Amino acid sequence: MTTAFATEAVDGDARTGTLTTAHGPVRTPAFMPVGTHATVKALHPDEVLATGVDILLCNAYHLALRPGIDLIERAGGLHAFMGWDHPILTDSGGYQLVSLAEVATVDDDGAIFVSPYDGSRLRVTPEDAVGYQARLGADVLMCLDHPVAYGTAAEIAREATERTHRWAERCRAAHPGDGWLLFGIAQGGFDAVARRESARFVSGLDFDGVAIGGLAVGEPVETMLAMTEASVAELAADRARYFMGLGTDSELLAAIALGLDMFDCVVPTRLARNGTALTPGGRLSLRNAAAREDLGPIDPGCPCVACTGFTRAYLRHLFQSGEILAHRLVSLHNITHLARLMDGARSAIRDGRFAEFRAERDGRLLATPR
């Protein structure tokens, strides 16, 4: 049986491979920039591609509310609508269930969301969630799941995980067929046994990949890694593994070491708009006075347009002046930074030196004074 994911090399539990989609291959480990509203904020799609990423994440729930699935379908699908002819993964809206402000009710049939735009209500069943994403023409569709916030009582978390499993079965039955990949989502709250059981259940439904959901939501890093390790132990080796929402260098490398393949995070672009650049030595605030007369680049080793063309002093000046070019340049840099981290991880895994690569990167973070 052929699967969409092929492993090319393993090093310990870390692995590098390729996820084959209808719009091309995704090299893993892969970082996916987030384009919630069918755009990576402020960036042209060609610029996003030039950072070295293979795939974007868009949010089908937000797009269903605005501008609506019908319009995007008439425009030729999400790829044509947003001018990105490369792989796209869509979020189902499950993550929004954590944010009570946007949810009216959740029951076994599905959820009723309240639009943050106009207060209108949208009922989404597991079948609807898969159907919306398929109509958008996304390459990788995500199941509707029911994550819970950190600190949720164990009993509530258990109910949400059981509901996630029932919804996963219904989403699996609604798989639109060839041309679309459908990923299940394992939950389990913050209990290692529940995490293991959920991963085993969802993995058993024969999805094209499985995501670990409901983590990196404020729990201690040790808890997050323990839950990840428990989950990964039950996931099939021949399917892609996606950690939903992870964006710091050391956490990404820790997850790759456990055998994760795909990641997304809004943080790199959100930080960029706030004037914070990611560097191998950690976060650099371009708004700080230290950057005022610094005529060096953000990262001398980075090939991006921000680092090859502009100084820290200039970027700080742009932020101080409220110029939007600052947002564009630092967003491009931050995405490039994570794309290069993934590239470095892939090479290191192929060469059998991932542990050294990780230790070197973590060492640079620790060695940099804050």
Residues marked active site are found at: 91, 264
Q: How far is the CB of 329 from Zn ion (least distance, A)?
A: 8
- Tell me if 43 contacts Zn ion by CB under 5 A: no
Do you know the residue count of the chain?
A: 370
Q: Which residues of 63-84 are buried (b: 16+ CB within 10 A; e: fewer)?
A: bbbeeebeebeeeeebbebbeb
| Distance (Å, whole) CA 145 – CA 363 | 37
Cα four-point dihedral sign 227, 230, 234, 237: positive
Count of positions on this chain that bind Zn ion (CB under 5 A): 5
Cβ proximity to Zn ion, 210 vs 326, nearer residue = 326
- Per-residue binding letters, 257-296, with Zn ion (x by CB under 5 A): ----------------------------------------
Identify residues 328-347 at the interface with Zn ion (CB under 5 A): 333
- Tell me if 312 contacts Zn ion by CB under 5 A: no
Cβ proximity to Zn ion, 174 vs 306, nearer residue = 306
Residue from 141, 143, 278, 307 in contact with Zn ion (CB under 5 A)? 307
Residue from 304, 326, 330, 339 in contact with Zn ion (CB under 5 A)? 304
- Tell me if 302 contacts Zn ion by CB under 5 A: yes
Cβ proximity to Zn ion, 165 vs 333, nearer residue = 333
Cβ proximity to Zn ion, 89 vs 332, nearer residue = 332
Residue carrying the six token digits 């379908």: 73
Q: How far is the CB of 277 from Zn ion (least distance, A)?
A: 8
Residue type, 177: G
Give CA angle at 27 (336, 180), nearest 5°: 115
C-alpha distances in Å from residue 170, one per residue of 112, 125, 176, 211, 226: 17, 9, 12, 17, 29
Q: How far is the CB of 314 from Zn ion (least distance, A)?
A: 13
Closest by alpha carbon to 2, among 18, 24, 23, 26? 18
Q: How far is the CB of 367 from Zn ion (least distance, A)?
A: 20
Beta-bridge partners for 141: 90, 182
Interaction site with Zn ion (CB under 5 A): 302, 304, 306-307, 333
